[in-house]
Amino acid sequence: MNAAPAATLTYVYGVTPPAPGLDDVLSTLTGVAGCRVALIGAAPDAAGPPLVAFAVSDVPRAEFAEEVLPERFEDLRWLEATARAHHLVIEALAARTTVLPLRMATLYQDRSRAVRALGAQSPQFAARLAQLAAHTEYGVKIYVRGRAAGPDPDPAPEPAVERDGATGPSAGPGRAYLRARRAQRDADEDHHRQARIAADRVAAIARRHSARHVSHPPQSGPLAETGAEAAAGAGENVVNDAFLVPDAAAGAFRAAVRAAAADLPGVLLELNGPWAPYSFTAPPPPPEPPPPGRGPVS
């Protein structure tokens, strides 16, 4: 007879090198589903210390089993609470050491299986943590300022003026409306031009001060109605990028990005961070090979 499945699953938040004091920090944290957080490690051999460790919680199987997760992800309140708890654990790790965040709801049947998976990937995890050490993620969003979305107004009637004793419109019907629409279109085009200038400036700043760059899809709908854009009024998000910045260059990066759109009134630029490197969990792409017939230059 098969044994009944355990009442819990092992939820993994991220990977980190073991560091002094981490156990004490995590033992005070409440993680996903109100569960305590701990570190588990896989040693490279019987004698050596762990290369890397998983931050984990034992979560209720009834809430995180594979067959119920699709329904859970449709529950926005559950999703928000789980994402917030996951993020708080990652941030607590990042405050003490380098962390490689894993995707929310990374689960194993139990801790022994999590340890085996960690041991199989320890060299790769250690290499990626070395690439992320002393680096932090920053986000840059660029919005094109514009009028609030909504139906176009009806053409207003032209004011009447007197001509040779007769009263009539000052211009053809709707002409002022068409002029206003033309002016709005010209302003929109100018704001998009300014956004391209801002994006080019940020790209140049990144080449000087960041190690890696990821372009996320621009936000729209409810996701774009929060943060600086909501405070400043309606606008179209045209750039939503993340940058991995060496800690030594963070001050220069922040100052340069904040100044990148100072002279562009049609653009709203939002800088956010520092964050744990959520956008850089994948390893960097391999270097491009040299052109055919060209070898390394000594």
> Contact 22/94 with Cβ under 8 angstroms?
no
Query: CA 242, CA 26: separation in Å to the nearest integer?
Result: 27
What the block records as the tokens of 269 is 């630029």
Residues whose CB is less than 8 angstroms from the CB of residue 120 and which lie 6 or more positions away in sequence, other chains included: none
Which contacts of 249-252 are long-range, i.e. CB under 8 A and separated by 24 or more positions?
A: 249/209, 249/210, 250/136, 250/138, 250/274, 252/208, 252/209
Q: Average pLDDT over the chain, rounded to whole?
A: 83
Query: CA 103, CA 285: separation in Å to the nearest integer?
Result: 20
Least confident segment among 98-102, 134-138, 233-237, 239-243: 233-237
Spatial CA neighbour of 284 closest among 206, 203, 214: 214
Spatial CA neighbour of 40 closest among 52, 49, 48, 30: 52
Residue 274 in 3-state DSSP? strand
The whole model's pTM is what?
A: 0.78
Spatial CA neighbour of 55 closest among 96, 14, 22: 14
Least confident segment among 19-33, 223-237, 262-276: 223-237
- In which element (H, E) is residue 106 found? strand 100-108
How confident is the model over 94-133, as pLDDT tens digits?
Answer: 999 999 999 999 999 999 999 999 999 999 999 999 999 9
